[in-house]
């Protein structure tokens, strides 16, 4: 039987394949992904694929078609069932799988879904995803055959491995967890039974409707229930996950949000106590205070492009022990495997908090204070967004400005810095600015707006902002 398939062009993203179910993402796409990725693996001499899915209503059906496609390319498929994306990553490493695919819509709305892929425990992204689309369009796949399939529940094994790295002190914590109806539900229920202290779990049931709130802990509104519960119960800390539990949100004992770059600094200081000089990576959206504080703590700070696949690849290249993104992805290679795992980051953070002489709020309040905008995303056509970045970079370099081009344009001045980058996944530009003073921030925002105006782009609404630390 001949095979050819064309994806909706909007679904082939930089880091994954993603779309709106029934519109830009279909069961046929799922089969094609299994067929093409299975062919890539087979041509590399591989035979095994691990597959998992999140709790979205569309995920079981997409997973079934994905498995069918992989088997048609001769793969021996191990099905993990419903669980968090980090469980798939863990299984891929432990089983030494040749490939892995997670069916997940991550932090997106309930009617969205997608596929995160790995090849020999390394991210499958960028040009590899574009090539997969080409293989499907041209029918360049291995001859159809029959593979095999088995079901394997690795939940208990994964939880035991998480608990092995608990390193807390004698202080007993009261922890509030907002599972957000995410795919981590079963794992979290078992994890809290193995951790010391008192645990209150909100929205523990896996529910693809996400009835409590949108499954994205980086948006403050989605942390409202967690904040209220921490304050009402006088808990020590609150933790939240996104839809597939590879992103984490944190609030301290007072209900104040610990932003991702602040969290990364707390984790980095702990890692650096045992590993002086270790490399710590953060994306271009992170506070300058983070990079400065990692350096002051004896570490080697590295700024890199945003995107979990890019960060993982840079970690492998540099041997970094820790990395993080403003989107809430935290990557540990210190005692862990180098992939983003909100459950593992939670265990490590709780260990730190349990060893503190005082509350987590004391640590947050002692962090360097900066004034910045939130991450601002605004529409710009795909055909224009990268050209705008090039235009801005060219004008700034002609003026002799201090510019980093790691990912978009990050401009440093005496007032602080501002960033403009093109989204790799949407028809949007992303902007952020940070200073030590409100006056300095106003000047940075004015500079950024002027550059956008010169390229014919309307500047975003810069109202709002938050104090933040590294």
In a domain, 6, yes or no: no
106 is catalytic: yes
- Asked if residues 101 and 244 have their Cβ atoms less than 8 Å apart, the reply is no
For residue 375, what is the DSSP state? P
Q: What angle do CA 203, 206, 211 make, to 5 degrees?
A: 55
Q: What percent of the chain has pLDDT over 90?
A: 89
Residue 7 lies in a domain: no
CATH number at residue 262: 3.40.120.10
pLDDT at residue 426 tops 80: no
> Does 299 lie in the same domain as 248?
yes
Mean pLDDT of the residues in the chain: 94
The answer to the question of residue 9 being in a domain is no
Among residues 153, 184, 204, the one where a domain terminates is 153
Report how many domains make up the chain: 3
Q: Give 434-449 pLDDT, tens digit per residue.
A: 999 999 999 999 999 9
Q: Are 282 and 290 in contact (CB under 8 A)?
A: yes
State residue 423's pLDDT score: 86
Rounded to whole angstroms, what are the CA distances from 148 to 1, 51, 101, 126?
A: 19, 13, 16, 29
Euclidean distance between the first and final Cα of the chain, in Å? 56
pLDDT at residue 463, rounded to an integer: 62
- Note the pLDDT of residue 352: 98
Instruction: State which H helix or E strand residue 416 sits in.
Output: strand 416-422
Residue 466 in this model has a pLDDT that exceeds 60: no
Looking at the domain assignment, is residue 1 inside a domain? no
d(CA 12, CA 301): 32
Quick one: which of 223, 173, 171 has its CA closest to 202?
Answer: 223
pLDDT at 1: 60
Res 464 pLDDT > 60: no
Look up the domain containing 168 and give its range: 157-366
- pLDDT tens-place string over residues 303-359: 999 888 899 999 999 999 999 999 999 999 999 999 999 999 999 999 999 999 999
100-123 per-position pLDDT tens digit = 999 999 999 999 999 999 999 899
User: Using one digit for the tens of pLDDT, what is the confidence trace for 133-156?
Assistant: 999 999 999 999 999 999 999 999
pLDDT tens column, 184-241: 999 999 999 999 999 999 999 999 999 999 999 999 999 999 999 999 999 999 999 9
The string of pLDDT tens digits covering residues 349-400 is 999 999 999 999 999 999 988 999 888 888 898 889 999 999 999 999 999 9
Two tokens, residue 210: 């996400």
Same domain for 145 and 198: no
Is residue 86 pLDDT above 70, yes or no?
yes
Tell me, yes or no, whether 10 lies in a domain. no
Which residue, 153, 168, 187, sits at the end of a domain?
153
Give the pLDDT of residue 462: 73
Same domain, 204 and 84: no
Domain closes at, from 129, 153, 177:
153
Beta bridge partners of 18: 114
Instruction: Select which of 11, 59, 73, 106 is catalytic.
Output: 106
Both 199 and 340 in one domain: the answer is: yes
């Amino acid at each position: 039987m001949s095979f050819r398939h064309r994806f909706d062009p909007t679904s082939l993203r930089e880091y994954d394949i993603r779309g709106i179910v029934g519109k830009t993402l279909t069961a046929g796409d799922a089969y094609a992904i299994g067929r093409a990725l299975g062919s890539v693996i087979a041509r590399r001499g591989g035979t095994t694929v691990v597959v998992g899915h999140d709790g979205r209503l569309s995920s079981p059906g997409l997973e079934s078609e994905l498995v069918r496609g992989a088997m048609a390319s001769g793969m021996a498929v191990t099905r993990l069932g419903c669980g968090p994306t980090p469980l798939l990553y863990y299984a891929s490493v432990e089983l030494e799988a040749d490939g892995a695919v997670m069916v997940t819509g991550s932090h997106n709305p309930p009617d969205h879904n997608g596929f995160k892929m790995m090849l020999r425990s390394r991210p499958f992204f960028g040009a590899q995803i574009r090539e997969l689309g080409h293989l499907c369009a041209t029918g360049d796949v291995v001859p159809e055959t029959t593979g095999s399939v088995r079901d394997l529940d690795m939940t208990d094994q994964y939880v035991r491995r998480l608990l092995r790295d608990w390193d807390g002190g004698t202080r007993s914590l009261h922890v509030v967890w907002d599972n957000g109806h995410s795919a981590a539900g079963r794992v979290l229920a078992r994890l809290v039974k193995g951790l010391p202290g008192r645990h209150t779990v909100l929205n523990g049931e896996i529910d693809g409707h996400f009835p409590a709130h949108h499954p994205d802990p980086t948006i403050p509104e989605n942390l409202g229930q967690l904040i209220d519960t921490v304050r009402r119960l006088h808990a020590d800390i609150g933790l939240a996950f996104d839809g597939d539990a590879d992103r984490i949100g944190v609030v301290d004992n007072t209900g104040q949000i610990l932003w991702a770059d602040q969290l990364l600094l707390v984790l980095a200081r702990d890692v650096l106590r045992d590993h002086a000089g270790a490399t710590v990576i953060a994306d271009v959206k992170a506070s300058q205070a983070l990079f400065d504080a990692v350096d002051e703590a004896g570490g080697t700070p590295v700024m890199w492009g945003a995107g979990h696949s890019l960060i993982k690849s840079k970690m492998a290249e540099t041997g970094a022990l820790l990395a993080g993104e403003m989107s809430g992805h935290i990557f540990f290679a210190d005692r862990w495997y180098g992939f983003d795992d909100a459950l593992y980051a939670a265990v490590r953070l709780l260990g730190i908090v349990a060893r503190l002489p005082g509350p987590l709020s004391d640590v947050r309040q002692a962090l360097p204070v900066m004034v910045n905008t939130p991450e601002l995303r605004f529409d710009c056509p795909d055909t224009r967004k990268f050209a705008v970045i090039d235009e801005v970079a060219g004008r700034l370099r002609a003026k002799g400005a201090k510019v980093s081009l790691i990912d978009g344009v990050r401009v440093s001045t005496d007032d602080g810095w501002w960033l403009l980058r093109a989204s790799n996944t949407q028809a949007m530009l992303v902007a952020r600015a940070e200073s030590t003073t409100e006056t300095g921030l106003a000047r940075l925002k004015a500079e950024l707006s002027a550059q956008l105006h010169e390229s014919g782009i309307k500047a975003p609404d810069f109202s709002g902002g938050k104090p933040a630390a590294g």
